[in-house]
């Protein structure tokens, strides 16, 4: 969702302001809506870290929190358990990821019905990545003959069963397998026609690229909220691996910021937080009022960025 466009006078005031976007964000009385993405734990230690992050971020009253599937649906059962625990032990609104990979239509429909029975009312419908453990696929997605072929078909299946918000993915720089950005936007339009109610973007670092994508999507007639996906990453080597897999560009200026800091994690964290906060503050001034944070099950950076944006604990009056 986006806020109303700035008037000419408001835009002029911003240009003449001695404050930068981060300072202006802190002065702004409006409170953006935020959501947080977690991944299901693979060990007892990882589970403890996850719940530490959930506990730290829950008082910020996010719009929802999403729980991912691993590649190839490899964490399906852990995803279900994590969602159920969020429902049982917190006041948070969970959004469960669901993918097409390695499951029949019957199996996926049963998962959808199970989520509804458990009280889940929001599903993030994604095609999913091929399972790395299956060498016969060679890293290329191949739909099952008895499964849903893509995110559009999956979105339609969730919509048919009714009663869900449906978030889908979008790719400001194009999906790695897409022949063109225009094709990607056509796919997004098809997902909207199938029932999608929100699109969450892949993470990005070039704000102008994201804004041009937003403009093209709107020009194509897509009116659902486009939520910027923000990933404050302090591990630059890990960021390069993730970016290579999803098609997100890592700008030279960002690489220069992290250069020579392999053995300095504290400085890397400061840089990651400042870059993400600046991104969000600038997008806020472009009218964006929602931000989705890929937390990597860590709360510290996301918590700090939310503070910059004016998202703080909801205090109870005495």
User: What does the pLDDT look like over 275-290, one tens digit per residue?
Assistant: 999 999 999 989 999 9
Per-residue pLDDT tens for 106-135?
A: 999 999 999 999 999 999 999 987 765 444
- The predicted structure's pLDDT at residue 77: 78
- The predicted structure's pLDDT at residue 2: 59
Where helices occur in the chain by DSSP H, the ranges are 8-16, 21-27, 44-57, 76-89, 105-118, 151-161, 181-194, 207-219, 236-246, 252-258, 265-285, 300-308
pLDDT band at 234 (very low <50, low <70, confident <90, very high): confident
- The predicted structure's pLDDT at residue 297: 93
What are the two backbone dihedrals, phi and then psi, of residue 150, each rounded to the nearest 5 degrees? -160, 180
Are 190 and 201 a contacting pair, CB within 8 Å?
A: no
pLDDT band at 144 (very low <50, low <70, confident <90, very high): confident
The answer to whether residue 37 is catalytic is: yes
- The DSSP result for 33-62, as a single string, is EEEEEE---SSHHHHHHHHHHHHHHGGG--
- The predicted structure's pLDDT at residue 30: 73
- The predicted structure's pLDDT at residue 79: 83
Q: What does pLDDT average to over the chain? A: 87
Which residue out of 37, 47, 89, 286 is catalytically annotated? 37
- Evaluate if residue 69 carries a pLDDT over 60: yes
- Evaluate if residue 316 carries a pLDDT over 60: no
- Mean per-residue pLDDT, 18-41: 76
- Mean per-residue pLDDT, 1-16: 58
pLDDT band at 252 (very low <50, low <70, confident <90, very high): very high
**Which pTM value belongs to this model?**
0.88
Share of the chain above pLDDT 70, in %: 84
* Pick from 2-11, 12-21, 194-203, 233-242: least confident: 12-21
- Evaluate if residue 187 carries a pLDDT over 80: yes
- The predicted structure's pLDDT at residue 281: 92
Are 243 and 257 a contacting pair, CB within 8 Å?
A: no
- The predicted structure's pLDDT at residue 41: 86
């Amino acid at each position: 969702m986006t806020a109303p466009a700035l008037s000419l006078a408001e835009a002029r005031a911003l240009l003449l302001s001695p404050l930068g976007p981060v300072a202006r964000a802190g002065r702004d009385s409006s409170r953006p809506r935020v959501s947080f993405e977690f991944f299901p734990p693979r060990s007892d230690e990882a589970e403890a870290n996850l719940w530490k992050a959930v506990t730290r971020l829950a008082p910020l009253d996010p719009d929802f929190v999403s729980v991912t599937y691993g590649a190839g649906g490899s964490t399906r059962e852990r995803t279900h358990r994590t969602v159920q625990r969020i429902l049982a032990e917190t006041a948070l609104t969970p959004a469960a990821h669901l993918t097409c990979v390695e499951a029949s239509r019957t199996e996926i429909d049963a998962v959808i019905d199970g989520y509804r029975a458990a009280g889940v009312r929001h599903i993030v419908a994604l095609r999913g990545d091929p399972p790395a453990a299956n060498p016969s696929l060679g890293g290329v997605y191949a739909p099952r003959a008895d499964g849903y072929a893509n995110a559009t078909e999956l979105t339609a299946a969730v919509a048919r069963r009714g009663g869900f918000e449906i978030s889908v993915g979008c790719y400001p720089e194009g999906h790695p397998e897409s022949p063109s950005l225009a094709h990607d936007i056509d796919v997004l339009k098809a997902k909207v026609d199938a029932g999608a109610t929100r699109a969450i973007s892949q993470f990005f670092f070039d704000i102008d690229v994201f804004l041009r994508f937003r403009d093209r999507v709107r020009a194509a007639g897509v009116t659902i909220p486009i939520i910027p996906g923000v990933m404050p990453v302090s591990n630059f080597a890990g960021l390069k691996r993730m970016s290579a897999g999803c098609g997100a560009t890592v700008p030279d200026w960002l690489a220069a910021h992290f250069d020579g800091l392999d053995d300095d994690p504290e400085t890397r964290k400061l840089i990651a937080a400042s870059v993400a906060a600046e991104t969000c503050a600038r997008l806020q001034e472009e009218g964006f009022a929602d931000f989705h944070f890929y937390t990597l099950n860590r709360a510290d950076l996301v918590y700090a960025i939310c503070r910059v944006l004016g998202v703080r604990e909801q205090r109870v009056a005495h």
